Structure 1
């Protein structure tokens, strides 16, 4: 159960890192080349994902006993979070451009490690 506050800290850290990554990757500038609605959808999607990460963090901090109990809604939410982070790890390792990840190896290893730890928790 002591690992759940650590999971919350990692998830909050990911949300905090997002504005930096957006700037570093030039995501918003790419929207200028797309249609206005495509940019709007992407921004909304980005905010919703960050919101989900914050919800996961709040759940980890406020309901650690329920999440660790292995019963009822706690079990369900634990499985949802494990599937979410396992899928996120798989996307990082199997979908993203390997050439880009090689050029940004430190970030790739860091984020892959965070996703793997969150999946394991």
Structure 2
């Protein structure tokens, strides 16, 4: 798999997470608010890709997927705290579960499709 596709899928997962979250809280279509909620998690994805050296092996569930997932949540929450955004316990749980399902989910599906093709 091309690294750009894997990174793109990880970014889409974060875009969807933030979009659903903002929609669920009736925050409306506010570009500044969306970007404010988005950037900590995008930095987390980037940090995960760098920390876990994901390029060339983005489709691996472990360590790539699990590493990106953990880093995305940890960095995203840390940056939210530093920037004065909320990190309520329920939000941390929902973010961890959703991002885990999304960031690992596309890898599981991709792995399954690859094995099936063989």
TM-score with structure 2 setting the length: 0.35
Q: Which has the larger radius of gyration?
A: 1
TM-score with structure 1 setting the length: 0.34
Larger helix percent: 1
